[in-house]
Structure formats: C-alpha cells, structure tokens
Structure 1
C-alpha cells in the first residue's frame, strides 16, 4: 500500500460517498436540477430537453466539458505531486475543498439564486462540478481499494449479490465497505436536500468540512 492510499478504510469511503450524495442533491435542489457528482443525470435531462422544457439547460450543457477538464487537470496534478514525493491524496482532497469553497462564495455573492443560468449560479454550479470531478479522479487514482463513492448503481448491484451469496455463509469482507458507501450516499442525499433548500451558500460551505478532516488524516498517514 502506497503513501497515497494509506488512509483506506470504511469511514473514508462512507464520508466521500456522503459528500457525493450531498453535493449531487444540493445541486439538484438549489441549481435547477443540476447533477454535480456524475454526468449521467445531466445526459438524461439533455435528452428530455428534445421533447419537453428543461429549466436551466445551459449549466447542463456546460457540466460535461467542465467535468472532463477537471478530471484531466486532477490527473496532471496528482502525477506531478507523486513525482515530487508530495502527499497527493491530501492535496487532492484540499483542492476539492477549495473548489467547494469557491462554489459557496459564488452562491453567496449571487444572493438568492432564483435561476440556474445567471452568471453567479453558473459559477457556483460549475465549480461544484469541478470539485466532484476531482473526487471521481482521485478516487480512481489514489483509492482503488474503495468502491466508487460518486455513483451507486454498481455498488448496489454488488451489495445485493453479496447479500444473496451470504445466505450460504459467504459474506465477503469488502461488502462492508460497499454497504457503508451506499448508506453514506443516502444519508448525504437527505442532508443535501435539507441544506440546499435552506441555504445554498452554507450548503456548499459545509461540504468542505469532511474533506478537510480526510485531508488531515491522509497527510498524517503519508
């Protein structure tokens, strides 16, 4: 196990899954149905736009290129940090936290956001998309032992298979990480709905807290 993925345990996956569910739901509630943690939902809404009205089509069009560029940038930065012997995981998490902090600032500067395609709303949404793209990237690069933290379809499938097989006493140890991630994502979605409805700037700001904690732990371990 390398220095970059030393902090690989159940609560790391659960917290990152919580954050993904939280950010995705905050974006959906506070930014006109924008999915920030994965692009699948935005593709569905873009398809629906061909036959019916979709609120805030511009951010959904921008989400994919922003997502792609943020993943590429994270990959370049992680490679550079690793080459220089820096704690790549801790730095990647702090990069994500800074993007979410900037997203919160955009929401605050824009005042009450009533339309998802105003300049401040677009900035808020795209910065959050970039933050979650960074999580997707460093999750693949630095935390390969963990189940996916941003998309739960595969995790739920794996969990149901594990539960079915467990009837014969074959419960795999990794299933505990999958279960923690699924429960964390669900809890994050519930909290994100409440916070996104109450205050978008505070919702984005509070998302930084688990990242700062995890970055601190990763830096200590590295």
Structure 2
C-alpha cells in the first residue's frame, strides 16, 4: 500500500481530533481530550459553578503533559536509531485510543464502578491526544495544525478576505485549500463524534482507532512540498 499524502493524513487526523474531543466532552463531564485550553476555562468555571467534574480535568493535564514528553523522547530515540518515528507514534496513539474505548465501554457495562473507569477512559483519551499534538508538531510541522482549530479558522478568514479583496498571489488558492479541509474535517468529526456516541456509546471510538491504525500501517509522505 502506498503512503497517504501528508496533507490527506493531516486532514484525516483533524477529523480524529474533532471526533475524540467531542465524544470525550459529551461522555466525560465536559472533558476536552485534544487540547488543554478548554479544560483551563472549565476549571476556572468550577470555582463559581461547582459540579462540572473538575477532578478529571485536573488529572488530565499532567497526563497530557506526560504523553507529550514521552512522545518526544520516543521520537528522539527512534531518530538516534535512524528509524522514522511517525508510524510507531501513530501505533502508540492507536493503542491509547483503544484503551480509551475499552475503559469507556467497561464503565457502561459495570455501573457500580462506572466513575473510576470513566476517569481512566478520560486519562487514556488525554494521553492519546497529547501524543497526536506532539507528533503533529514534530513530524508534520509544515502542515496545517490538526488538533486545535482557532488559529486555522483565523488564518482561513484572513486568506479568504484577501481573495475577496482581490489580493490574490500565486499561492493563495493553495493556502486556502490547505486550511479549509482540516477545518471542515474537524467540524464534521465533531458532529460525528457526538452522534456516534449517542448511538453506540464508547464503541464509537472504533472509528478513530481505525483511522490512526491505518496511518500507522501505510504511513504518510511527509516530504511533500
């Protein structure tokens, strides 16, 4: 099998981030697994409006940080061995997403231990998305960021504004395309994550597990212009 285009892979990972982040938010007391900014906001809100599951958000932060650090160390170790890091890191992320799903499904099946298992699910999810954040910054740094969309939307609106104003240089269309598709896929992934969780619960995580596993198997062409 041929490796995916790097841009297609980054777009697919944006869908994974939207799916996992929204599913985690809906299922786990408002937890954001793909980025920590939202959790900081919700922790602050907990000070005046208790009952938002602040403990899980506080635990998720060090887990996210540890996942980023471990991802970095693993990538450096592979680099020293002269081995490409993307596939192994995607494989580890897929395993963490699978653990996220397994703990979540167990929390649904064993209601008496539901909260500890749900907490475990959230921490596996935060670890998985910490790895995606780190691997994207290290190995796909030239591509559109695929986990947090605020900067992408801002830049997309600026580029589109230039297009409307007639300031159209040779690379403008390509820049708009590279921004538009990850933003769109993140949004669609978010909708799919909410609807899929509503339909089948944590088992819906099989979709992002399959997507990340696919990238781990076929790889990405990271040397594209």
If the length of structure 2 is used for normalisation, what is the TM-score?
0.89
2:63 aligned partner:
66
**2-side partners of 1:27 and 1:204: how far apart?**
10
**Superposition RMSD on alpha carbons, in Å?**
2.3
1:111 Cα deviation after fit: 2.5
Per-residue CA deviation, residues 136-185 of structure 1 (Å, 9 max, x unaligned), is 00000000111111100000011011111113223252321111110010
Inter-CA distance 221–150: structure 2 relative to 1 (3 Å threshold): closer
- Determine helix, strand or coil for the equivalent of 2:174: coil
1:152 aligned partner:
149
1:184 aligned partner:
185
Q: Name which of structure 1's ranges 163-172 and 12-21 shifts more when overlaid on structure 2.
A: 163-172
1:137 aligned partner:
134
- Determine helix, strand or coil for the equivalent of 2:108: coil
Question: Structure 2 stretches of 5 or more lacking a match?
Answer: none
**2-side partners of 1:48 and 1:130: how far apart?**
24
1:82 Cα deviation after fit: 1.4
**1-side partners of 2:114 and 2:79: how far apart?**
38
User: Are 2:90 and 1:93 equivalent residues in the alignment?
Assistant: yes
**2-side partners of 1:220 and 1:145: how far apart?**
12
1:29 Cα deviation after fit: 0.8
2:24 aligned partner:
27
**2-side partners of 1:215 and 1:187: how far apart?**
22
Question: Structure 1 stretches of 5 or more lacking a match?
Answer: 1-5
Aligned with 2:14 (options 14, 17, 30): 17
Mapped contact 1:147–1:155 kept (Cα < 8 A): yes
Mapped contact 1:10–1:176 kept (Cα < 8 A): no
User: Are 2:123 and 1:126 equivalent residues in the alignment?
Assistant: yes
If the length of structure 1 is used for normalisation, what is the TM-score?
0.90
Inter-CA distance 137–70: structure 2 relative to 1 (3 Å threshold): same
1:198 Cα deviation after fit: 2.5
Mapped contact 1:66–1:129 kept (Cα < 8 A): yes
Mapped contact 1:31–1:115 kept (Cα < 8 A): no
Mapped contact 1:17–1:184 kept (Cα < 8 A): yes
1:189 Cα deviation after fit: 0.3
**2-side partners of 1:108 and 1:117: how far apart?**
10
1:54 Cα deviation after fit: 3.1
Mapped contact 1:56–1:117 kept (Cα < 8 A): no
**1-side partners of 2:222 and 2:4: how far apart?**
7
Aligned with 1:161 (options 150, 155, 158): 158
**2-side partners of 1:154 and 1:163: how far apart?**
14
